[in-house]
Amino acid sequence: MTFTSDSSSIRLSQAVNGIQTGDAVAATTAVFQSLSVDDQLAVLWYAYTEMGRSITPAATGAARLQLAEGLLNQIKQMSHAEQLEVMRDLAAKRNTQFTRSYGIFSANTKLAFWYELSELMVKGFVIPVPTGYKISRDGSQVLEALKQLDFGQQITVLRRVVSDMGVDPLAD
């Protein structure tokens, strides 16, 4: 669902309240999910660029990536436009074969999938964020809220937002 930046700003002030009242993870997750699809992708990307150094590749687990390998290989073979479309489909929860395949992964496999996508962006296999891209005000506020959390809380927020992406093919 897409919210206007007005409703997103309301959610943002609620999130700030939530952070002050101790439910920082839930509040940051909710406000992330109220962002536009492109803002969500941008926040994920900047979260990765800031957290990347603290996530060791080994920690993401080779076994989990094996499960995601098929989808990652499909993405590598797509054009840049198609790659962006697939990521937007995931964030927007559009029902496609790709988003249904993603939907059966565990939360940690989904996280590992996004992590690997970022690595593929860095290596030049996946469409980069445009040079000079400026994240929206809402997006940068969510990023700031995320940065206020400790590492464990950040992972929890990320795990929740990527878990909610895609389409669960077994849900009714």
Phi-psi region of 166 (alpha: psi -120 to 50; beta: other; left: phi over 0): left
Q: How far is the CB of 21 from ligand 45D (least distance, A)?
A: 25
Q: Which stretch binds ligand 45D (CB under 6 A): 5-13, 15-23, 53-61, 96-104?
A: 53-61
Residue found by looking up tokens 């927020």 in the block: 157
Give least dist CB 5 to ligand 45D, A: 16
Question: Residue 110 Cβ, how far from ligand 45D at the closest point, in Å?
Answer: 8
Among 27, 87, 142, 161, binds ligand 45D (CB under 6 A): 87
Residue 12 or 48 having the CB closest to ligand 45D: 48
Phi, psi of 47 (to 5 degrees): -60, -45
Residue from the set 33, 96, 101, 108 that interacts with ligand 45D by CB under 6 A: 108
For residue 130, what are its two tokens?
A: 């445009």
Separation of CA 145 from chain center? 15
Does 151 participate in binding ligand 45D (rule CB under 6 A)?
no
Give whole-number Cα distances, 37 to 14, 41, 94, 160, 170, in Å.
20, 6, 11, 16, 24
61, 125, 136, 140: which one contacts ligand 45D (CB under 6 A)? Answer: 61
Q: How many residues lie near ligand 45D (CB under 6 A)?
A: 28
Residue 160 engages ligand 45D in binding (rule: CB under 6 A): no
Under a CB-based contact definition with an 8 Å cutoff, are residues 41 and 68 in contact? Answer: no
Q: Is 95 helix (H, G, I), strand (E, B) or coil?
A: coil
Cα distances (Å, whole numbers) of residue 122 to 73, 115, 140: 16, 11, 21
Measured distance CA(22)–CA(148) in Å, rounded: 12
Residue 55 binds ligand 45D (CB under 6 A) = yes
Interface residue list for ligand 45D (CB under 6 A): 38, 41-42, 44-45, 47-48, 55, 59-61, 64, 84, 87, 108, 111-112, 114-115, 117-118, 121, 127, 129-130, 133, 155, 158
